[in-house]
Structures are given as C-alpha cells and as structure tokens.
Structure 1
C-alpha cells in the first residue's frame, strides 16, 4: 500500500483527546459474518461460456468504535473469500478496511476524515473470477462541513469533500485520481417541508483514468410527501469530467417515487439519466430504470423483488443490461438473518451475437453479534 494518512492522523489526535465520560464503553466491538452459497449457470458471464459452478462466499469481519469524548472513531474490516466447488483451484479474495472520524472545531463546524483500503476489479467489463483482474485501492477523503440544527425537525448542512484514490499495483500509477464534491443539504420534516440536498454520485472508473482525473457533479433537488403514503424526489445537476485534458460536460437528473399502499408494502420507482458531450462533440447517454417491491407479511419475514434496466449509448453503440431479483429474508433473532433468492442477469450488447445471460440462486445467513 502507498500510505494511510487518515489512520495516522486519527490515532495521533485520539492520543491527546480525553476518553468518553458518558458512561458508554470506551471500546465497542461487533463481530459480523456472512455465509452465502451460490449456484451460477454462467460463471464467466460470456456468450460462449456454458460453465456452471457452486461456490461459497465467506465474509467474516469486525466493526469497532472508540468512544472518545470529542472525537469518536469508527473502524470496520471485512475479509471475503469466494471458494468455487467444481474448480477448487479458483478462489477470489477481497479485503475492505475502513477507519473514519468526525472532529468538531466549533459548535457548527466539523471535519470528517476517512481512509479506506479495499480490493477492486481492474476492468469492470471482465470477469472478476480472474485473480489477474483484481488490485488494491487506497481512498483518502477529507470533508470539512458546516451543520446547523435549525429546530427540532430541521437541519442545514453544507460542505466540501476532497477524495484521493491511489492504486497499489505498480503498473496502475496512471489510474490514480482526485475527486472534488460540493454539497448542500436541508433535512426536514417531510410532511411540512421540502428537502434540498446533493447526492454523492460518482461514476467510478477502474481503468484508463489519468492522474489528473477530476469530476465535478453538484446536484440539488426536492424531496417531499404528497400524502402520508406517497413520497417523491426530483433532483438534477451539472456534470463535469476532465481526464488528461479531455473534458466532458452535460447534465444529470433523477426522479424517484415511493408508494406505501399499506403499512406492509413499499413500492418504489427510480429513473436516472445522464447526458454528456466530450470535447470532440461525441455524445454519451446513460439511463437507469428500476422498480422495487418490498412486502413484510410479518415482523420476521420480508419479500423483496426488483427489476432493473440500464443502458448507455456512446458513439452509436448501445449497451443494455436487465437484472431481475426475487428474494426473501427471515429474521431468526436479533443476531441472525436468513436469506435466499434468485437473480437473472441479461447483458444485451450490439451486435446481438455478443449478448449473454446468467441465472443465479443463493441461500445464506448474516450474523451480527
């Protein structure tokens, strides 16, 4: 890894600050574990592949919180291994470590520092089954912000976030980038007020990104309730990307709605569109549609389903993907959640000969102590 600036800064500050005087434990630990078995009829997700496999996802981890009086520190580490049963020589290992804190400098001014180290694919268009398609990434962010509690139901927050990403592989130094985000958010009583906010939306680029890559994507919007059972959100903004001197500009907007016909049902619809034009005048359009259904017949059981349609268009090439999911969860007790379901993915590219599909079934358990 290249560096861990946030970890050293946070630990140094923690050494000089007093511990919690609120009666809470100085250190809180929460072990967690996810065990899920999958059956996939197209492991490589390619038109030519007919391979299927059973594989097991094992994700042990631990979350920790250091309750300092002025600066609580949160940390989490999760190790994930995918073990294939038919091809026992094929495994995938992922690491995800995060540490963050929020430091108050005055009654309304704060500084959030976060450092994250995790495993990511080099090329999201290639199968992550291949160990050669994985690398380590270090992301360091600093976010100064102002926050004011207007009254018991309304809060205003504004600030700036700087994000620095470094890849640890020696051959990926050209993929490092800096990100800048400005935001303003008003959280209020949805029955009486509107909410103005910025959505932290990043189009992550895992490869072919120059060191001077910058994205500027401010968004503003309105959220409110038309009635007790109908909630909506409309947002839009200006999109700006600059990579190695090449600039893309455009717009982005989103429309979301939630309908609660009964206390047990939540129906949601989402539409998001982004259109940019690069310096040579080439247009790029990205659209995203999703319908979701959540049904809770009892306090312990939840049924979940969604259908998602995504397409983008660049240089007259259409790329479309359809994702369907049907699942269920059962809350055994406050520590154990049992889950299972079916997922179907269709990747439809042009020409049609390049299309691919996959069917996946899963059954697993989540444990948080």
Structure 2
C-alpha cells in the first residue's frame, strides 16, 4: 500500500468496504488495468506523505490517532437523550514487504473509547490481520488472508444493543484464499473463506440478561468469477457466490433453527474511462433458504456497485449501492434484506486540505417478524495535513432511524461532532 494512505487512513472515517467486484483503482495489468484515473484520496502528495520506516525487506508504518467526540444521544434513545464527550485513542501499525516477487502485509490496531460521564460505555476494540501472496507465473497468483477482531456493537445496532446496560462485545475471525489467473482478455478467479462470530451476553438495564448465544455462527463462502475484457477500458464479468451459515445452537436450546444456505448470481461490468469515471456495477439474483419452515425464503434482485466520477481533477464523487441478505440480531427473525445507497464528494480545496460530504440511505426488511428499519446518515468532514507526519480531521455527523411494523424498534436521532489528531511515521 502506498505510503500516503497511512496518514489518510488515520484521518478519514472508516467506510463500508466494497465487495471484491468493485475494487476501484485496484492493481492490474494489460486489459484489466484500472489506474487511468486518480481519485482525490489516492492522489500523491509527496510533501505530505509519510514514507514509513524500512527495516530489512519490510516497511513499517506506525500511527497514533487521538481525538474527542461529542454525542447528544449516547444510548440511541427516542426520548430522554443523554449527551457525553468521548476521548478516542487509536494506535496502529502496518507492515508491507518490498520483495520483487510474492508479497506479505500485516496490520494491527487497538481503539479505546473513553466516555467521560457514562464510564460503563467505555470499551476497547482491537484487530489484527495478515495477507500473503504467492506468484506462480506471470499474472497467476494465490492470496491467503486471515483476520481476528474483538469488537463492540454500537448502540444504533438492532436487537438488544439499545437495552443493554453495557455495550455488547463480540469476537470475529476469518480465514480465506483466492486464486487468480489472467490470460490475454480472460481473467478467472476462485475463492473460499470461513468466518465466525461469537457474541457475549447482554446485561439489561433494570436487571436480567439477554442471551446472545443464538447469534453465534460460522459461515463458509465460495465464489467463482470470470471476466472478459472487451477493450482496455471495459471488461464484462459473471460471478456466483454460495454461502452456508451454521449456527452453534439448535432446538431445543433455541426456539427456532436459524441455519441457512444461499447464493448470489450476478453479471456486470468494470470500467475505467479516462478523465470521466471508473468503477464496477453488477446486477443479478439472490436467494437465502432457511432450514426451519418458520422462516420463508428471502429472494430478489441483487445489486453491487461502486462508481467514481471525476467532474474535475480536484473533485471525486463516489456512488455506492448494494443489496444483500444479512443475519438478524433479533429473536424470531432469521435474516433481513438489506439495501444501501450512498454518495460521497471529496474535494481538494487546497493541496493539504480535503473536504468531504457523505449521504447514505439504508433499509432493513426483516423476515419472520413485521419490522422494517430505515436509516439516514449524513456527514461533513475536513482533513488538514500539517506536514508529512501530522494531520487533523474534524467532522459533523447526523444519524436517524425510522422503524415501522408490529414489532418495530424505536425511532431516534444521534448527532456527533468529532476532532482528531493523527501522527504517523
């Protein structure tokens, strides 16, 4: 990863990662190169880029982010909102090999969120990950990745998160591998990964415990994709993904069996039109079948899109859209159909000053219960680079949920203001 991304990644708020089909600006060769355009966030800034420290065949890039965040609704409540200030401390380190062939990278980070008034909300989150790449011959390689994280559900999550006396913690891990081979105009990919989630129980306000073991699960995901380059600018592709979701508990330990299997079949195109736009768009069909007769099959149109538009050299507009079946955090529901769309504008106001604005809409339509959650999220942010090693970020965020249905959740709004300082070597 280029050195400039270290400083930016510490300053910019984490965004939902795109799927494998939509790696805008990803490395490639020949007919599949997608680097003709350059986004505002990718643009080199040698005078403000931190190069890291090279030791042997590796470049190490440590960074530390410290900041303050104000929120006017700590518990995402519909009334009697409580406000607080949160101190944030986030050290991290990344390592990247400099070998001429093959590759290895690893990273680790920890985040402390310390609430000044509501100390029970204070948490530690941490994660580690590694990625290795083995090159066989030209344009043929295998990548193997592994991650582990100890995380905390935000109060805005569904289920018991809003009623728990303390934030719900969980562990997640993933091991995966992908093979890719490119021959002239054809590129083939095949991959598989195993992931797991393990949730801690939630102690509720006023006493009692909400057992979260019903959410613990493993998943196997397999996917195959084939691309055909019709020109150096555009490739058409077809992809199919199959998943098998296996929950730890089954009746009589829980009322209903939540195991399921499903697939997504899509066709699409990825493109890089010099000076105009680049991205990937896919549409298809999705289906998730549940072993329990109490849950109906979730199916419908699938969408996966990430497109960057370049109205000027100093402005990048990013559009995202997705539709998928996710596992529910609520007893009585197995899953829900999630639909998300967003738009982000990044503008280079000055060489060392980037302003960004994001608007996101999402809808979760649950299966097995009468509930639909609609969410709106908007953020305005500015990132200022003082020099190669120090930068500042400030942001204002508004989040709103409207929930409907016989067992709908509460409606609420949360506003946040944050400022952070990042140091990177």
Q: Is the TM-score greater than 0.5?
A: yes
Q: Quick check: 1:133 aligned with 2:174?
A: no
Within 2, Cα distance between the matches of 1:232 and 1:65? 26
Aligned partner of 1:74 in structure 2 is 105
Q: Quick check: 1:147 aligned with 2:177?
A: no
Aligned partner of 2:147 in structure 1 is 116
Shift of residue 129, structure 1, vs aligned partner: 8.5
| CA offsets 1:226-279 (integer angstroms, 9 cap, x no match) | 673244643113323345556544330245544322211223334444589xxx
Aligned partner of 1:192 in structure 2 is 233
Within 2, Cα distance between the matches of 1:156 and 1:235? 17
Q: Name whichever of 232-241 and 321-330 sits farther off.
A: 232-241
Aligned partner of 1:362 in structure 2 is 418
Measured on the aligned residues, the alpha-carbon RMSD in Å equals 4.0
Within 1, Cα distance between the matches of 2:335 and 2:97? 49
Q: Quick check: 1:50 aligned with 2:84?
A: no
| Cα pair distance change 1:102/1:92, threshold 3 Å | same
Equivalent position SS for 1:228: coil
Equivalent position SS for 2:235: coil
Q: Which has the higher contact order (CA 8 A, sep 6+)?
A: 2
Listed as ranges, the matches of 1:254-273 within 5 Å are 254=304, 257-273=307-323
Shift of residue 220, structure 1, vs aligned partner: 3.0
Listed as ranges, the matches of 1:23-102 within 5 Å are 25-65=56-96, 71-88=102-119, 90-102=121-133
Shift of residue 72, structure 1, vs aligned partner: 3.3
Equivalent position SS for 1:194: strand
| Cα pair distance change 1:117/1:52, threshold 3 Å | same
Aligned partner of 2:384 in structure 1 is 330
Within 1, Cα distance between the matches of 2:336 and 2:93? 41
Aligned partner of 1:291 in structure 2 is 343
Q: Quick check: 1:303 aligned with 2:338?
A: no
User: Which residue, 252, 260, 283 being the options, matches 1:236?
Assistant: 283
Shift of residue 164, structure 1, vs aligned partner: 3.2
Q: Which blocks of at least 5 consecutive residues in structure 2 are unaligned? A: 1-53, 202-211, 251-256, 327-333
Q: Name whichever of 285-294 and 163-172 sits farther off.
A: 163-172
Q: Quick check: 1:162 aligned with 2:193?
A: yes
| CA offsets 1:11-65 (integer angstroms, 9 cap, x no match) | xxxxxxxxxxxx9823432211121210000011111341100001111122124
User: Which residue, 213, 217, 223 being the options, matches 1:176?
Assistant: 217
Could you tell me whether the CA contact under 8 Å between 1:58 and 1:81 is conserved in 2?
Answer: yes
Equivalent position SS for 1:354: coil
Aligned partner of 1:19 in structure 2 is none
| Cα pair distance change 1:33/1:199, threshold 3 Å | farther
| CA offsets 1:97-140 (integer angstroms, 9 cap, x no match) | 11221233555543322221102346932159864510222222
Aligned partner of 1:221 in structure 2 is 268
Could you tell me whether the CA contact under 8 Å between 1:238 and 1:252 is conserved in 2?
Answer: yes
| Cα pair distance change 1:113/1:254, threshold 3 Å | closer
Shift of residue 294, structure 1, vs aligned partner: 1.5
Within 2, Cα distance between the matches of 1:318 and 1:251? 18
Could you tell me whether the CA contact under 8 Å between 2:298 and 2:337 is conserved in 1?
Answer: no
Equivalent position SS for 1:196: strand
Within 1, Cα distance between the matches of 2:401 and 2:124? 25
